[in-house]
Structures are given as structure tokens and as C-alpha cells.
Amino acid sequence: MSQKLQKNLGLAAALSTVIGMVIGGGVFFKPQAVYTLTGGAPGLGILAWVIAGILTITAGLTAAEVSAAIPKTGGMMVYIEEIYGKKLGMLTGWMQSVLFFPATIAAIAVMFGNQTVLLLGLNENLIIPITICTVLFISVLNTFGSKTSGIIQTVATVAKLVPLVIIIVFGFIKGSGANPITTPIVAEGLSPMSVIGQVLIAILFAYDGWINVGAIAGEMKNPGKDLPKAIVGGLSITMAVYIAINLAYLWVLPANEIAQFANPASAVATVIFGDMGGKVVTVGILISVFGCINGYLLTGPRVLYTLGQQKSIPGYKTVGALNRNDVPANATLIMGVLSSLYALSGQFNLLSDLSMFAVWSFYVLTFIGVIILRKKQPDLHRPYKVPMYPIIPLIAIAGGLFVVLNQLLFAGMTNTLVSLGGVVVTLIGLPLYSIAQKQAAKEENHNDLDKIA
């Protein structure tokens, strides 16, 4: 009976799931980084929202084939383990646990602290304490059970849509529309090719979440027909919303002014509605961002918990334990503390770029995995196949490689060092895996001896 219930997801429900998974806090804060990188010019910024959207659609269409063909819980870590073996699967989970989730949580929390201080007119020295207290508070909330987390997510989903709609509608009604939108492409002295990679990695942060889309294949009535429509439709709607709000920003303020504000949405709302209106929109954004942090602290620790369950990291008994609410509380608190350490940097853009570099390296492996699986297991049951194979996977692979290599080699010394640091932290997972496996083998030997005794 339950399996029949799981197969009741139609196209409309799948569409809204895709949109809900992807639209987050990035669209409110990333325009500052984008227009800073373009030297205050709007053209490349608007174009990059389109390019990143198309890349995300090809990525979603490609990865969905793997997740539909390997319908196991655990997401990307499981897909990569299935295609490339246990060690690379473990490294995927390790990267997500120590880089992607903590850096993402820290980045969003830094912006939460920043906006709270601005909203309440507090001293700037309080940004980091507020940021860390928020992360730890949400971490503790998530140890009480999934019902609490679910309520926060519902409220936050409504909260993120309200500022988006208000700014898009009133931005076009009340904005002057006198600012340039498509020209210049970049400021004088800059080359579009020199900054496009960094602009894309900034924007991809706002599009992240699409990797989870394939997980709904098992609940769909007709995934082969409806899943590609849901992915293309859902991500196209997301892209349209993102482009519309960025046009609305430019309708009200020029790109070189947007580059001055950490929260362009609040700045635009203040111009449209005055100080009080700007504050009301900021409150909506803060609730949305609180929900984003909660969402990542709900899902991220499950990956760390799985590593513990698989005995893949030292201290696996602690990490892989559930509390009396059937929640991986230890994994949640560990991730909360790790996120707080990242948050000490106070660098929203640096942290979000690090999380995107780390995760896109493994996304590319997932896209390549589609081609490997087609060759190795041609008879594997695929409820959904990526359309226009192999063109769409190849676009996803090429786009992903461009973003990752650009961040590693051509994005300036700071980004290169941070990215290299990310590579080193990821690779540390291998010796840790080896230690954990030896520990597990010793334990098994002891248990066998005890049984004999």
C-alpha cells in the first residue's frame, strides 16, 4: 500500500518540489559579488544568471538519470560509491560533511548575522557572535526531532517567496527603469573571460539544491515522461524568477550601487518603500535565511551520520549514533561546531565559493558516471533517461570542469589557496578511512574472540 502512495507525485507536485529545493537565500545576497566582479557593469551579471541556469538544467537532467537508476537513500555519496567504489563514495560524504555543508551553513549564517546587526542598528563586532549563536541554536533545535525542523521549513518557505514577489512587482512599478541593464558587459579594463568563471561560481550558489531533484523519481507516477519536464520546467521557472528579481534590482538601482550593498534586496526595498518597508523585507529575508540554515543542518548531519554507520571515519560509534528522538544529534552538533569555526572568517563570498568548488568537483564525477553506467550496465533499469544523450551530459561535464578549474587556477591567489585547501581537506578523508577500517576490523576480531570464549 505504501509503495502505491509513494507513486502519486504528478508533474505539478514535482515542479513545485524542484522550485522549493532550489530557491534559497543566495538570490538576495549574491548580486553584490556578481557586480563587484564585473566592476559595477550589469551586462555580464545578467547574462551569467542565464548561463548558470542553463548549466544547472543540464546538470539536473544528467544527475537525475543516476539517482533514478540507483534509488537508494544517501544521495550523491551513494551514486559515486556505486559507480566508482567505496573509497570515492566515502570521500564524497567526507567532502560534504567537512566542506560543503559546514561552509554553506557558515556562509548563510554570516549573512544572517550581518543583516541582523544592520536591521537592529547593533555594533558590527556582534556579527560573528550572532552568527555563531544562530548556528548553535539551530543545531540544538535539530536534535529535538524532525517535527520542529519541518515547522521552521514551512514558515521559511513562505518567508522567502514574499520578499521575492514584493521586490519583483514593486521594483518594476516604482523603479525608474533608467539604469543600463545589458551594457556595458564588464567595466573598462576587465575582460569578460577573466571574470566569467568567478561570476558563475558566485551565481551557482543561488542555484544549488538541484542535486536532490532526482530523489523524487521513485514517488512519481511517470518519471520517464514527467521528471525531465519537472527539472526543465522547475529550473526554468527558478531561472526566470532569478532574472526577474535581478532586473528589478537594476530597475531601481544601477549595478555599481548594488555592488556596495551586502543585501541588495533590502537596499532596493528601502528605495521603493522607505526605511520601514526596507526593514519589513529584511525581516522576511532573515526568516528565509534562518530556514536555509535549518534545512542544511537537517540534511547535512545525515551524511555524517551515514559515514559513522558505515564505519568510514574514526569515532564512528559517536557519529553514527541516534538520540532518544531518533535524530543523529552528535553528528548535528559536530556539524554545528564545524560550521561555527568556518563562520569565524566572517567571509560570505569566500565560504560560499569554497562550498561550490568542493561540491562541483564531485558533481562532475556524477555526470561522468552517467556515461560510465551506460557503458558498464546497459541493461540497468532506468525509469528516466537523460534526453539528447550524450550532448546534455557533455555540456554539464564541460561547464562543471570550467567552473572548477577556473576557481582552482585562474580566480586569483586567495581563491586558488582556499580551493587547494579544500582539495587537501578532502584527501585527508583517505587516511581517516583507512584508520576507521582498521578499528572496525579489530572490533570484529574482538567480538569473534568473545563469542568463541
Q: List the CATH number of the domain containing 418.
A: 1.20.1740.10
pLDDT at 5 over 60: no
For residue 450, tell me if it sits in a domain: no
Q: What is the CA radius of gyration of the chain?
A: 22
Least confident span in 67-71, 201-205, 284-288, 293-297: 67-71
Question: Virtual CA dihedral for 133, 139, 140, 144, nearest 10 degrees?
Answer: 150
Domain count across the chain:
1
DSSP 322: -
pLDDT at 14 over 60: yes
Res 226: pLDDT = 81
As given in the structure block, the three cell numbers for residue 129 are: 557572535
pLDDT in tens, 328-357: 899 999 999 999 999 999 999 999 999 999
User: If you search the block for the grid coordinates 572548477, which residue do you land on?
Assistant: 404
For residue 1, tell me if it sits in a domain: no
Whole-number Å distance between alpha carbons of 105 and 355: 10
Phi, psi of 408 (to 5 degrees): -80, -35
Predicted TM-score of the model (pTM): 0.90
For residue 62, tell me if it sits in a domain: yes
Res 3: pLDDT = 36
Phi, psi of 439 (to 5 degrees): -60, -45
Whole-number Å distance between alpha carbons of 303 and 76: 10
- Comparing CA positions, the residue from 302, 172, 296, 216 lying closest to residue 11 is 216
Contact (CB, 8 A) for 132 and 343: yes
- Comparing CA positions, the residue from 47, 55, 32, 354 lying closest to residue 192 is 47
Q: What mean pLDDT, rounded, does the chain reach? A: 89
pLDDT at 453 over 60: no
* Residue 1 confidence class, pLDDT cut points 50, 70, 90: very low
Q: What is the mean pLDDT of residues 377-390?
A: 91
Contact (CB, 8 A) for 425 and 98: yes
Q: How far is CA 447 from the centre of its chain?
A: 41
The dihedral through the CA atoms of 360, 361, 362, 367 has a sign that is positive
User: If you search the block for the grid coordinates 553514527, which residue do you land on?
Assistant: 320
- Using a pLDDT cut of 70, give the percent of the chain over it: 95
For residue 6, tell me if it sits in a domain: no
For residue 72, tell me if it sits in a domain: yes
Indicate the SS3 state at residue 71.
coil
The dihedral through the CA atoms of 29, 31, 34, 38 has a sign that is negative
Res 110: pLDDT = 95
For residue 294, tell me if it sits in a domain: yes
Domain residues for the domain of 224 are 11-441
For residue 449, tell me if it sits in a domain: no
Q: What is the mean pLDDT of residues 163-181?
A: 91
Least confident span in 41-50, 179-188, 249-258, 404-413: 404-413
DSSP 174: H
For residue 452, tell me if it sits in a domain: no
Whole-number Å distance between alpha carbons of 31 and 249: 9
Q: Is 391 exposed, middle or buried (0-12, 13-18, 19+ CB in 10 A)?
A: exposed
Q: How far apart are the first and last CA of the chain?
A: 46
- Comparing CA positions, the residue from 331, 298, 291, 303 lying closest to residue 142 is 298
As given in the structure block, the three cell numbers for residue 211 are: 542535486
pLDDT at 409 over 80: yes
Q: From residue 302, give the alpha-carbon distance in Å to each of 94, 96, 142, 331, 360.
A: 12, 10, 11, 7, 20
Res 146: pLDDT = 67
The helix (H) or strand (E) run that includes residue 35 is: helix 26-37
Contact (CB, 8 A) for 171 and 329: no
For 121-222, where are the alpha helices, taking DSSP H only? 127-141, 146-174, 192-207
